[in-house]
Amino acid sequence: MPKIRYIARVFSGMRFKKLNSLMTVVKEKCGQSKVKTFFDLLVCFFRYGSGYYDYVMFGFYDLTAAQRDTYLTRVRNKKVCELMNDPAFGEIFDNKLLFNERFAHLLGRQVLSAETVEADKLAAFLSDNESFFAKPNRGTCGNGIEKLRTSDFADAQRVLDYVRGKNLPVLEEVIVQHEDMARLHPASVNTLRIVTDRVGSVTHIAYVVVKIGTGGGFCDNSGQGGVICRVDEKTGKICSVATDDYFHIYNKHPDTGIVFNGYALPMVQEAIALAKEASAVVPQTGHVGWDVAITPDGVVLIEGNDYPGTDLCQLAPHYPEKQGLWPYYKRILSLNRSKRKMKEEILQETPTQEESDLKPNEGKSGIIEVDGVSYQRLPIRTHLITDQDNIVYVAETYGSPVLSEAGDILFISEKCVACTQKRAIPMSEIKPRKLAVMLSKHVMKTPHGIGLGMPETMECALKECGVLRILFAAVISVIGKKIFRKKGWFYAVAGYKARSIDGPCHNTIPPYNHYVVLGPRKPDLVAKQIKERIGYDAMIVDINDLEGQILGVSSKSIDKQLYARVLKDNPLGQDDQQTPMGIIRRV
């Protein structure tokens, strides 16, 4: 049942004219009197936390009590957002300029800030685009967006004067959408709304819908006259009729005549993969609705909403099975609670260390001198890191208590990061092909690691890098050894993905002594996320007793070559030492 304070706020904001119009809709749909609807609305609010929009959108007037109880209502959705999302990170999603900066690698188009853009950069943008979108920095449902033609302005300064005067600081290139998306309604960029729920390192998909414009408008939002269809995430096809904000139902598009149910949308799986990737950028915000556009060249991210409403999902025409999303979210919230409880238990079982507790691993030196400067390396003991962990939280849990001086840097083993990304593969699950067996026989094995000298690790290299690259690298390696008497050309050609594959060895803590561990994904991004959480610079490193390299850094100012030398003797220990991370401090 909703809290009293929330109830008071809901009733104080109630629009009785709108309530009356919605009760009229119910009467038209099922013949139920307004009096009965009014009291049923009250019952549903107190029992299920539903508002009057929920009542009509979900078709509560035609559902049993048991069916109604399966729906994600406005009160329940508020609870999901509160439990899944850290409000400290809400500004990233509310502020479009900040969002575009954080998610720049996923946008796939030119975006500028009219607040800070330089004149020559804006002039180049205008010369490349006959038209562009100007958007308010805050807002939802497509409100306030304008599509502007470059030819309507004498020069770049006139553009700036206009957009600044109308408070439209977000300038974006117009997206050219895939022909199968344009066929639905060519005037608007029709997008997928994909809602993700991230728990730990696992991202779940709640639902997928497609938003389609109508009437020649450039917005696909239902709030701007667009329509919505449910999408089967497995087949990539529309699996319902369309509906709009006025509860009309359309079997085919009112303008283009395209029949909705069964229409195959392009690249739905790629769009889902993009949403999952985006969900890892700000893991503190677990419940997000992503708008994704489909272009001829691939999928691009439009925006993310950290308070996705209930007005796009569970709509009565879309859910003839009369089963809502609340059972799914009860499971997600249970998983989320379990993750928090697991984290608390880990902290109890493996107490965080005080700075005075840190000491070098046995046989390792705590201090090294490089270019006349002394650096202290303090390894940090953790619990056994698995794919159930979030590396950002792990770094915060163990790193924050011991990071105390300006200039401290947290460094983390790449294997530790990869394990949290599900990049550790049991040997029993790898089935090497004949090519992998043959190639692995020609790899030189060293005491410092097996590298690609076994069929299982070579098979992973073939999958990670591609057969042609590995074969080409093998040929170049032979040329280097036989003709020029040079070693190391194989990895120079095969690249980082091949070089970072670690095979099992005796001095690795179980169960990873029976795993192949691939290189971590996006180490720079991981390092930046960690810095945002702990307030100190971070590095993702690949070091062993032979050499070391810095894979990812949180800041461009970090000298990778310098710190590779600082860590060259590998002060960490991943056997029974259980120290996959540490801090570097100048002394």
How far apart, in whole angstroms, are the C-alpha atoms of residue 269 and residue 248?
29
Q: Give the DSSP letter of residue 482.
A: H
Give every CB contact of residue 155 below 8 A, 6+ residues apart in sequence. 123
Are the C-beta atoms of residues 579 and 409 closer than 8 Å to each other? no
How far apart, in whole angstroms, are the C-alpha atoms of residue 366 and residue 542?
18
Are the C-beta atoms of residues 425 and 511 closer than 8 Å to each other? no
Are the C-beta atoms of residues 538 and 564 closer than 8 Å to each other? no
H or E stretch covering 111: strand 111-113
Chain centroid, CA 135 distance in Å: 23
How far apart, in whole angstroms, are the C-alpha atoms of residue 399 and residue 520?
20
SS3 288: strand
Residue written as tokens 């801090």? Answer: 583
Are the C-beta atoms of residues 538 and 530 closer than 8 Å to each other? yes
Q: Which of 60, 62, 38 has the alpha carbon at shortest distance from 50? A: 60
Structure confidence at residue 140 (pLDDT): 67
Sign of CA dihedral 164, 166, 167, 168: negative
How far apart, in whole angstroms, are the C-alpha atoms of residue 205 and residue 195?
6
Structure confidence at residue 20 (pLDDT): 86
Predicted TM-score of the model (pTM): 0.61
Give every CB contact of residue 409 below 8 A, 6+ residues apart in sequence. 536, 537, 538, 539, 558, 563, 583, 584, 585
How far apart, in whole angstroms, are the C-alpha atoms of residue 69 and residue 56?
15
Q: Give the DSSP letter of residue 427.
A: G
Are the C-beta atoms of residues 178 and 294 closer than 8 Å to each other? yes
What residues does 374 pair with on adjacent strands? 369
Chain centroid, CA 146 distance in Å: 28
Are the C-beta atoms of residues 332 and 204 closer than 8 Å to each other? yes
How far apart, in whole angstroms, are the C-alpha atoms of residue 233 and residue 579?
41
Q: Give the DSSP letter of residue 454.
A: S
3-state secondary structure 174-194: CCCCCHHHHCCCCCCCCEEEE
Chain centroid, CA 415 distance in Å: 21
Structure confidence at residue 206 (pLDDT): 95
How far apart, in whole angstroms, are the C-alpha atoms of residue 124 and residue 132?
13
Are the C-beta atoms of residues 327 and 70 closer than 8 Å to each other? yes
Do you find a cis peptide bond into 511, omega within 30 degrees of 0?
A: yes
Structure confidence at residue 477 (pLDDT): 86
Residue written as tokens 């073939």? Answer: 462
**Tokens coding 170:** 């977000």
Are the C-beta atoms of residues 548 and 542 closer than 8 Å to each other? yes
Q: Which of 346, 347, 344, 396 has the alpha carbon at shortest distance from 529? A: 396
Q: Which of 270, 297, 274 has the alpha carbon at shortest distance from 109? A: 297
Q: How many other C-beta atoms are found inside a 10 Å radius of the C-beta of residue 401?
A: 15
How far apart, in whole angstroms, are the C-alpha atoms of residue 535 and residue 531?
5
Structure confidence at residue 343 (pLDDT): 53
**Which residues of the chain, if any, have pLDDT below 50?**
346-347
Helices (H), 466-554: 467-482, 489-494, 496-499, 523-534
Give every CB contact of residue 311 below 8 A, 6+ residues apart in sequence. 53, 57, 222, 245
Strands 537-543 and 409-413, how do they pair?
parallel
Structure confidence at residue 29 (pLDDT): 87
Structure confidence at residue 360 (pLDDT): 84
**Tokens coding 41:** 């609305």
